[in-house]
Amino acid sequence: MPKWPDDDVILFDGVCIFCSRWVRFVAKRDTAKRFRFTPIQSDYGARLARTFGIDAGDPDTNAVVHGGEVFMKSDAALTVLSLLPGWSWVSVLFAVPRPLRDPIYSLIARNRYRIFGKYNTCFVPDADLRARVIE
């Protein structure tokens, strides 16, 4: 698997309402401001997606680069959550085998627009969060 030079970057679907809420959820709890965010619709996000084999036109996962490695699907969500203050307990969920976790993740990902909706244009964060967005 290729490496990525930037660390603690979360790749997300910027037109997905659920994904944008995920970004706001993480940003609010990330008091150390460790994570940065990039929409897959940005140049930087599209390059990151291509590097790791994610279809930027039809993304089926968010991803996080941590420790120079990329984590996708349920591994991405659990990695991010387990690194947030007060959420380290989430790491016990890594004990659930990925073949059981990822199908649930994929089911939600495939239906995210239908369930949660979709923005017409890419999510625009407030000024504080915008400073943590890489485009």
> If you write DSSP's letter for every residue of 7-44 in order, what string do you get?
-SEEEE-TTBHHHHHHHHHHHHH-TT---EEEETTSHH
Q: Does 4 fall in a domain?
A: no
Q: Does 2 fall in a domain?
A: no
Predicted local confidence at residue 86, as pLDDT = 96
Q: Would the pLDDT of 69 be above 70?
A: yes
Predicted local confidence at residue 25, as pLDDT = 95
Q: Does 131 fall in a domain?
A: no
Q: Does 134 fall in a domain?
A: no
Query: Domain range for residue 84?
Result: 9-125
Q: Which tens digit of pLDDT belongs to each residue from 89-110?
A: 999 999 999 999 999 999 999 9
Q: Does 90 fall in a domain?
A: yes
Q: Would the pLDDT of 57 be above 90?
A: no
Q: Does 13 fall in a domain?
A: yes
Q: Does 30 fall in a domain?
A: yes
Contact 27, 124 (CB under 8 A): no
For residue 91 the two structure tokens come to: 């790491």
Mean pLDDT of the chain: 91
For residue 1 the two structure tokens come to: 């698997």
Q: Does 135 fall in a domain?
A: no
Number of domains in the chain: 1
